[in-house]
Structure 1
């Protein structure tokens, strides 16, 4: 099972469109996971149309329309692993402990908010993944997203993708 992980798209505030590379990767994924801060419903509509399966949550910058369509926390069994998705997990210091306490029933937790890519495993085995942002790098050198593969109940091939500098691409492109 091929996964695409993204978060903090912030359209149209941070960019006018999703990067073409990300949109192409959506078409190759079995499941697209978005960890919140969509900002506009058009991005949700686009990913719902293009993704084979979408698992997403709302973030702190998402208004009433998105909050009505998306939960604060999402959970799904994917390829034999228990996934959870949430937008915010608090400060980096102590994150693993806090997340293990809050989500003792998960194998993998995907989160966003910081725009800073993160890949760690907590002492109890919970894998924490933040794909960064494909549209707003903030203090990071690149905009990013992640892909991963789940095979036989094992998360493998977790890869952080660095995006090239932004070039305007319409929603129907790629």
Structure 2
């Protein structure tokens, strides 16, 4: 069974800031996606040390050194689903959906707002895991997806395991 963990907005100069279920998810997932704003190379490298396979983009608060190492956007195929990853896009949900369509994505992963959310559009799921470390008045969050038949079932959780939202995405099988 394939497990995918999704994070964003670490905002740290000291490390990955992962605790509880969020740390366990990063350590055990086959693939980890991060939608930017590590802030420092120390935080990026701490994530890399915890994850077997990390696919990340940089965000607007990332240092020049992090920006040099990570793309602005990328596509990741995992668990029979195509993920388009970016930190943010102008135009809100419409801009994110257009970004996803232009990359033939099933899911668009973004960050920036620090607000965990799942929005279903006609042809793409918009997923913001929130921030596990700097929620800025929102619930802290990260997402985990697992294969279940012909779909990936997902949850946004707080680092202590509290459920925030549930969702599902059909696989391309």
Counterparts in 2 of 1:13-28, with a 5 A limit? 18-21=17-20, 22-28=22-28
Give the TM-score, by structure 1 length. Answer: 0.82
Q: Does 1:117 align with 2:116?
A: yes
Unaligned runs of at least 5 residues, structure 2: 161-173
How much does 1:91 deviate?
Answer: 5.7
- The whole-number CA distance in structure 1 between the counterparts of 2:90 and 2:137 is 18
- The whole-number CA distance in structure 2 between the counterparts of 1:147 and 1:44 is 19
Is residue 79–residue 152 contact of structure 1 (8 Å, CA) maintained in 2? no
How much does 1:154 deviate?
Answer: 2.1
Aligned twin of 2:8: 7
* Root-mean-square deviation (Å): 1.9
- The whole-number CA distance in structure 1 between the counterparts of 2:18 and 2:49 is 16
What count of residue pairs does the alignment treat as equivalent? 156
Unaligned runs of at least 5 residues, structure 1: 165-174
Structure showing greater relative contact order (alpha-carbon pairs closer than 8 Å, 6 or more residues apart): 1
Counterparts in 2 of 1:56-135, with a 5 A limit? 56-90=56-90, 92=92, 95=93, 97-104=94-101, 105-123=104-122, 125-135=123-133
- The whole-number CA distance in structure 1 between the counterparts of 2:72 and 2:125 is 19
- The whole-number CA distance in structure 1 between the counterparts of 2:33 and 2:106 is 15
